[in-house]
Structure 1
Amino acid sequence: MKLYLLFIFVSLFPLSIYASPTPADSLLAVLRSEIGRKNIYDKQKEEHISQLRQKLYASQSTGPEERYKATLGLFEAFKDYRFDSTFYYVRHLVQLSIQMNNPRRIAENRLRLGTTLITAGMFKETFDCLQGINERILDKSLKKSYYILYSWAWSDLSKYNADRIYAPEDMEKKFQYLDSAIALTTNGSFEQLILQAQQNPASGDDPAHYYEELLNRKLSEHEKAMVVTGLSRYRNGAEKVRLLAIAAINDIRTSTYRAQAMLDLGNTLYQQNKINDAYFFLQQAMDQANKFGSRMQRYQVARALPIVAAKRDLMAKRERQRLLFTLALVIVIMVIVGLTGFIIFVQLKKVRTGERIIRENNRLLAEKNKQLWEEGRIKEEYIGFFFGELSRHILQLDKLKNNVQRKVKSGSTDVALRQLEKIDIHEERQQLLYTFDRIFLKLFPDFVEAINSMLPEKDQLKPKVAGTLTTQLRIFALMRLGINDNEMIASILEFTVSTVYTYRFRLKSKALVPAEDFEQRILGIQIAD
């Protein structure tokens, strides 16, 4: 009966998880998540048990065989879940076996009773139960289970004693009964290999070898879980944590509270100095032991948990001390940094004040340089223009003077007058203004667009001839050149002062920008590079 092989194993996931290893830290995270969901799994377990109880109640009106099967079903459901209920139903199985006068079932259920007692750490009661069984009447299968239960009992008693006097004797008896059980198994069977893996290490066999051999076989999911659990005892570090985490996750999902995986996981993490994780999982192991009701489980956890808790408290105390020291050090550093920062701040403030003054001076200098450059460009263009015009007019006057003098000396006064009448002053002025427009637009090619951008579309100033300016545009062109006096503008353009004023006022009133900003923006129109 494979039921009795479970005394050294706990349930695990299918072997596919072992074949494709998941990192230990990831599995621990999954385990924590599953612990938060254990009430869901327990509810499913309770629903299943409720159905079995209904089946037992229904069997009261039928024969003893149906009651036996229903009671056995409840025993199987409770054996890893609740000790008290397991104990209750296994006693009923014994009573039903006696009532049915079935010697084999009586022996079989006494073995089940012994198994239940040993799970709770009731050593005396377990040995009393075993001694009440007549070994000579057991068949091969029951005898094998009988030896396995004895081996289990001596093994747990050895763990409970944990001394140098009785524990070695208990372990010796465990191996003797284990050898007797192995002798009754079929050669090469799963049962034989799994028991051989528990033999005395002094025999020279490598227990991991049996597990690895079994892993190469086609096994059921439960058998795979048993093998992987056993193999975890012969692995170290992260691999051991990974295997035990898988087992503990399976225990949560199957509502298995008679389990060793959580305890072993906590102890393993403690050995790896992962104290907080170890403390958490040992607390979960204690919860499992309390829920199942096993004195042995509680004893095992109770021995480990205070040690881990004490080290956890010590670590917390040291951490607090380190934190206080660090805090004090940080405060001192902050004070030093604060004083240094204040000094630097004062110095930086002085430097920045100086930089601002320098930047402002540089800005003013740049503006002045730009202004001088613009003035230079304007003077260069217009001085050249006026020298050219003056030269042209001087030549014309000289030519006219010579012609008039010749005509007058020759007595041709009428011809001289006609030559003087040929001079068109209006045309000369228009030519002068055209030349002015051409030179200005060369210096300020975007001037017309800039003015119109500040005016509504209907009031925009559009010269009739490309490359020229309108009268209003010339007024503002002269302003851009720095001639802002209305009298001077009127003199240059041969207007009255009131006319110049009217043009300026009218255009400002139509502008899209504030009137006080209009002329200022005109002065800001950039000269072409």
Structure 2
Amino acid sequence: MNRFLNLLIVFLFPAFLFAQSNFNDLLNELDQTIANPAFYLDKKESYIGKLKVQCMHATTDLEKYACNEKLYLAYKSYQSDSAMVYARKGFQIAKKLDELKKLAHAQLNLASIMATLGMYKESTDLLKLISIESTADLKGYYFNTSSVIYGYMYDYAASPQEKQKYIELTRKYRDSSLQYFKPHTSAFIMAKSSFFIDVGQYDKSLALLLPYFPKITKENPDRAVFAYLISQAYRQKNELDQQKKWLAISAISDLALAKKEYISLRSLAFIMYKSGDIDRAYKYIERSLADALFCNARLRTYEISKMLPIINEAYQKQNETNRFQLILFLMSTSVLSLFLLGALFMLFKQMKKVAKAKEDLGLANTKLLELNGELSVFNKKLNDNNYNLTETNLLKEIYIGRYMDQCSDYILKLDEYRRKLNSMATSGRINELTQAVKSKNFIEIELAAFLNTFDVTFLQLFPNFIEEFSALLNDSETVQLKEGELLNTELRIFALIRLGIKDSAKIATFLRYSVSTIYNYRSQIKSKAAGAREDFESQVMRIGTKLNQ
């Protein structure tokens, strides 16, 4: 059982949401219609104005009768006093025409509008004067008008006895009208559905009304009446949502046709009051009263006047509640504003502190950047020094190795040379010994071998020395080597400088030249430099290092 109920809720809940959404849309449409009364009044007045122009051009009494009939219908639910004027004119013209049917029809029009104006005695007296038996075609209209008039009197009656009397007459004349209305006409369906509602057969009433309703155009005044009857059937079935929906449809139709005498909007106002929507209830009842007064519909004014104090009191109470809530809200807002101002003041102070901290941080960052720059320079110098130190150590290792090899060779060669001289001396070859001692061949051979070893070793250490050295000179002053030379004297001088031997005396001793010769070589090369002379030797020191890259 519980599972069945759950499934039922699941299936019906979307339908409920859709119905609620549909009703809200109708209420919004109704609110917009109420908010634009001038638009619908202009249409109504324009239509009435055209009818009046037609009446002005009417020449025959028959044309005037037909024109006055249209004006009566146009004013009937709009302005009762004007409708009375045209009903009387129609009655006077009908007497001139001397047609019994037109005269009876004019009398029924006059009786109907008198009832709207609250002239119940006059309207019932007039009904008694109508010779209904001689105008069978009007019996349906006659009985229906009588039913409506006694229905007004029922609503207006004060005592239960009177109410009972008039409701019985209302039903009697309504039931009689059914015998003369053609089936499937609007008048027949409205009367028959009203009968079904009275006898408790609400579904039969809806079975008549609902299929017929879509056939009624929006310009037809009967649309509002049909929708109202449908709402009453649902009211008796206790289906409040459907009742509200159809009351809203009826009210929209009434207002869109600029009808001022109606029931639906007043009924919907009371329902909205009971459901707690006081704002709409007050707006609807206020508009209903204004329209009833405009139309001079006395019964509607009387009915509204009984409801208005109730809704107005609730509206005033709600306004008082809203005013108290507004005051409370304003006080709360003021307190919150003070807190907010305090918070903003504290935030402003904090922002100033943050700004000062940012400024200090910016200065610190600037100093840190400067220190980082200095540290980078220092690190670069340190790396250069480390590189130079590494390079120097490498040079020392290579040259110490070469030096030891060279010394070992010299010792062997000297020992061999000593043995050779000793052999000459012991064998008595004095002349050969004297020539050998005086000869420089040995020294020159060894010097040439020494320089060749130096050249080979240096170029192993600095394989691009000649190209890089030439790049430091003017384009026309490139170094020219003889065939078979690895280095020449100029290159050897600056090779020694590259190795860190900058003293000209030491270079002279090393290369077995005079100091002045070395000095001249150095000066001549510097004069050929592509850049500044004073920077030339420092640039030479960068050859073969990453500093030169």
TM-score, normalised by the number of residues in structure 1: 0.65
The number of residues matched between the two structures is 411
Shift of 1:152: 1.0
Q: Does 1:405 align with 2:509?
A: yes
Per-residue CA deviation, residues 255-300 of structure 1 (Å, 9 max, x unaligned), is 4333334433433433333323332333332332232222222222
2:87 to 62, 86, 90: 90
Closer, same or farther: CA 244–431 of 1 in aligned 2, 3 Å: farther
Larger Rg: 2
Which stretch of structure 1 is more off in the superposition, 328-337 or 105-114? 328-337
Q: Does 1:105 align with 2:106?
A: no
Which whole-Å CA distance do the structure 2 matches of 1:434 and 1:165 have between them?
137
Aligned to 1:260: 263
Aligned to 1:383: 385
2:29 to 27, 31, 39: 27
Closer, same or farther: CA 175–40 of 1 in aligned 2, 3 Å: same
Q: Does 1:131 align with 2:131?
A: no
Closer, same or farther: CA 398–259 of 1 in aligned 2, 3 Å: closer
Which whole-Å CA distance do the structure 1 matches of 2:378 and 2:511 have between them?
46
Report 1:5-20 matches (<5 A). Answer: none
Secondary structure of the residue that 2:57 maps to in structure 1?
A: helix
Shift of 1:155: 1.6
Shift of 1:70: 3.4
1:41 to 38, 43, 47: 43
1:290 to 290, 293, 296: 293
Closer, same or farther: CA 46–219 of 1 in aligned 2, 3 Å: closer
Which whole-Å CA distance do the structure 2 matches of 1:198 and 1:438 have between them?
119
Q: Looking at both structures, which has the greater relative contact order when contacts are Cα pairs under 8 Å and sequence separation is at least 6?
A: 1
Q: Please tell me whether the aligned partners of residues 53 and 74 of structure 1 are also in contact (alpha carbons under 8 angstroms).
A: no
Aligned to 1:276: 279
Which whole-Å CA distance do the structure 1 matches of 2:301 and 2:543 have between them?
107
Closer, same or farther: CA 164–372 of 1 in aligned 2, 3 Å: farther
Which whole-Å CA distance do the structure 2 matches of 1:393 and 1:437 have between them?
11
Shift of 1:27: 0.3
Q: Please tell me whether the aligned partners of residues 182 and 188 of structure 2 are also in contact (alpha carbons under 8 angstroms).
A: yes
Closer, same or farther: CA 72–247 of 1 in aligned 2, 3 Å: same
Secondary structure of the residue that 1:81 maps to in structure 2?
A: coil
Q: Please tell me whether the aligned partners of residues 38 and 252 of structure 1 are also in contact (alpha carbons under 8 angstroms).
A: yes
Report 1:59-458 matches (<5 A). Answer: 59=59, 62=60, 64-139=61-136, 141-161=137-157, 164-199=160-195, 201=197, 203-206=199-202, 207-215=205-213, 218=215, 222=220, 226-233=225-232, 234=234, 243-335=246-338, 348=350, 352=354, 355-356=357-358, 359-360=361-362, 362-364=364-366, 366-380=368-382, 382-383=384-385, 393=497, 395=499, 397=501, 404-405=508-509, 418=517, 421-423=520-522, 424-426=525-527, 427=529, 429-430=535-536, 432-433=538-539
Per-residue CA deviation, residues 392-449 of structure 1 (Å, 9 max, x unaligned), is 63736389766743776xxxx67x754553333454733634877999999xxxxxxx
Which whole-Å CA distance do the structure 1 matches of 2:48 and 2:185 have between them?
35
Which whole-Å CA distance do the structure 2 matches of 1:370 and 1:237 have between them?
84
Closer, same or farther: CA 438–181 of 1 in aligned 2, 3 Å: farther
**Which amino acid in 1 is paired with 2:168?**
E
Question: What is the root-mean-square deviation of aligned Cα atoms in Å?
Answer: 4.0
Secondary structure of the residue that 1:422 maps to in structure 2?
A: helix
**Which amino acid in 2 is paired with 1:258?**
E
Closer, same or farther: CA 192–394 of 1 in aligned 2, 3 Å: closer
Closer, same or farther: CA 162–318 of 1 in aligned 2, 3 Å: farther
Which stretch of structure 1 is more off in the superposition, 384-393 or 283-292? 384-393
Which stretch of structure 1 is more off in the superposition, 294-303 or 181-190? 181-190
Shift of 1:254: 3.4
Secondary structure of the residue that 1:397 maps to in structure 2?
A: coil
Shift of 1:51: 0.9
**Which amino acid in 2 is paired with 1:166?**
E
Which whole-Å CA distance do the structure 2 matches of 1:214 and 1:308 have between them?
35
User: How many percent identity over aligned positions?
Assistant: 16
Per-residue CA deviation, residues 20-46 of structure 1 (Å, 9 max, x unaligned), is 988124303430343142442244134
**Which amino acid in 2 is paired with 1:144?**
G
Closer, same or farther: CA 405–363 of 1 in aligned 2, 3 Å: closer
**Which amino acid in 1 is paired with 2:112?**
T
Q: Please tell me whether the aligned partners of residues 27 and 242 of structure 1 are also in contact (alpha carbons under 8 angstroms).
A: no
Q: Please tell me whether the aligned partners of residues 41 and 253 of structure 1 are also in contact (alpha carbons under 8 angstroms).
A: no
**Which amino acid in 1 is paired with 2:206?**
A
Structure 2: runs of 5+ lacking an equivalent: 1-21, 396-495
Q: Please tell me whether the aligned partners of residues 182 and 192 of structure 1 are also in contact (alpha carbons under 8 angstroms).
A: yes
Per-residue CA deviation, residues 87-120 of structure 1 (Å, 9 max, x unaligned), is 2222233333334433333322221211111222
Aligned to 1:15: none
Which stretch of structure 1 is more off in the superposition, 286-295 or 151-160? 286-295
Aligned to 1:521: none
Which whole-Å CA distance do the structure 2 matches of 1:351 and 1:53 have between them?
88
Q: Please tell me whether the aligned partners of residues 265 and 285 of structure 2 are also in contact (alpha carbons under 8 angstroms).
A: yes
